[in-house]
Structure formats: structure tokens, C-alpha cells
Amino acid sequence: MPSLNLHPEALPLLLSQPGVQVVGTDTEIGKTTVSCALLEAMVGAGRRAAGFKPIAAGTEPGSDVNDDVARLLAAGHPGLGLSAQDLCRRSLSLAASPWVAAEAEGQTLAGCIPQLLQAARALQGRGVQWLLVEGVGGVRVPLAEGLSTRELHQVFHRELGLGALLVVGLRLGCHSHALLTLESLRAAGIPMLGWVGNACTAAPYDGRSLEVLTQALRSEGLRCLGLMPRLSDNRA
């Protein structure tokens, strides 16, 4: 996989953190692709880095491992001896919103945050120096009544000190999606480290639109940390 084109200041910034929460503007915009590239960069810089997908929905027939989780496992430090089950505490079979996927299995995600936080801390206890937490869908995906992914991100910031990196899927409509996601995260008190653009569609994203997006986010105090070149699987 081609490397994420990180800006010069991005790697020192990320290395100064205990990890990061990767939050997307939507589903299928490349959070896992960017997450894997970040993990590879951290491992290359000498960190015992690992990914964590608290909740994943959708597995292939005959498998109980979500593809995103498998990719995170492969991108992390090989010497940690982790399994896919270590990297995802709530793996659901149905490829649907987490609430719906949990219901399909007779489960509920209500009250799941303490369990997910415990699983993340267990990874740190096994030698993970830099923890990447990949979000589920967008920032306000409902998990259960009165609970969304934003509350999950709040807890990971408060308890683990993880700021957020925004992944913007570069496609029509992403300007509004990026600004609304940023607004929601900041309203929840989650510090923002920056944003990464991911070319997630077959059609090229034109240069002028990228300039406008960069300027709009810069005016909100959010810097671009890098861009991901267009790949065949950038939507994942």
C-alpha cells in the first residue's frame, strides 16, 4: 500500500501523543486505509503501535473477523502478539449500523463503554505504546438509545488522553460534512490534532475544491496533516 503523504510536522506531532482517535466524516470514506498507513508510519518510527476498533459490524461468510479489524492487526507492530479479538471487543456479523447489527443478534450496545475502555486499557497493558482507535462510521452514529459514537470518543479522550484526527473523504459534499464533524467533536470537548484527506472515489477530486476545503478548515484552526493518494480500496 502506498504511504500516506504526511506533512513534515505531522509525524513529530503524532509521536508526541499516546495515540489517536481516527474519526471520519462518514462511513466508507477511508478511515481504515488511513489508520493502517498511520500504524505503519508509527511502527516504522519505532513505536509499538496497535489499532483498536471498539465496535465493528460486518463479517464475511464463514469468518468471525471483520475485514477492517484484520487490516488493523496486520498493520500494527508484529511483536505484540495480539489477535483480532484483542483489537475488537464487539464484533457483529451484520453489515449494518451498530444498533441494528446488535439487535439482529439479540444484543444491545447500551452500557458498552466501560467494557470497551477496559479492552483498550488491556492493550496498553500488553505493551502497546501508541494506540490508534478507529471510530465507527461518522461522529454521531447511534449505538443505543441516548448513546452515540461521540460519547465513546469523549471517554477515550478523557480516560486515555487521545485526541482526534479527522479523515475527510474527498468527494462532493465533504466540505459541509467536515465542518459539521469538527463542530460536533469540539462541542464534546475532544481536542483535534488535524485532518487527513482521502481520495475515496474513482473520479479525481479537483485541486480547487481541495484548496477551498483546506482554507475552510484552516480558518477553523484545523491543519491538514496529510493526503492519501487514490487507491482501489480507499473507501474502506
The residues carrying an active-site annotation are 53
For residue 92, give the amino acid letter: L
Listing DSSP states for the chain in one string gives -PPPEE-TTHHHHHHTSSEEEEEESSSSSSHHHHHHHHHHHHHHTT--EEEE-SEEE---TT--S-HHHHHHHHHS-GGG---HHHH-SEEESSSS-HHHHHHHTT---TT-HHHHHHHHHHHHHTT-SEEEEE-SSSTT-EEETTEEHHHHHHHHHHHH---EEEEEE-STTHHHHHHHHHHHHHHTT--EEEEEEE--SSSPPPHHHHHHHHHHHHHTT--EEEEEPP-TTTT-
Residues 222, 168: Cα–Cα separation, whole Å = 12
Asked whether 40 and 3 are in contact (CB, 8 A), the reply is: yes
